[in-house]
Amino acid sequence: MATRSAQSIADEERFVVRFRWTGLLNGDDGAPVKFGPFADRSVQVTGTFGAGGTLLMEGSNDGGTTWATLKDPLGANVSFTATGIKMVGDLPYQIRPRVSAGDGTTSLAVHLMMRAGGR
């Protein structure tokens, strides 16, 4: 179980911030990022889930002492058992991915895109 660093990805759009975590294995989490003014958020997961692989997007408002699974705009957990992309409805102080299950073949990448309001 390791904490994987978040890599900031440059984007020509000034109202967009993107991050990527790679090499997430069973039991790993991603180093949290915080960008409060960026309210529109989507997350994409790619890679190999392995047997029973699950990735959760989590948020914390208490500086990372406790974490909760984030919800989409309809109230469903932002969790993945296969590759895909989902919108994040919650707006916590910090956000991170966590691999909660998988096997020795689990290896995931998470791509977070955040857009600030106003133009």
- The pLDDT assigned to 12 comes to 80
111 assigned to some structural domain = no
11 assigned to some structural domain = yes
Total domains in the fold of the chain = 1
110 assigned to some structural domain = no
Q: Which tens digits make up the pLDDT trace of 50-109?
A: 999 999 999 999 999 999 999 999 999 999 999 999 999 999 999 999 999 999 999 999
66 assigned to some structural domain = yes
- State which residues form the domain around 30: 3-105
100 assigned to some structural domain = yes
33 assigned to some structural domain = yes
pLDDT of 119 > 70? The answer is no
Q: What is the DSSP string of the chain?
A: --EEPPEEE--S-TTEEEEEEEEE-TT-EE--B--TT--EEEEEEEEE--TT-EEEEEEESSTTSS-EE-B-TTS-B-EESSSEEEEE----SEEEEEEEE--TT-EEEEEEEEE-S--
85 assigned to some structural domain = yes
60 assigned to some structural domain = yes
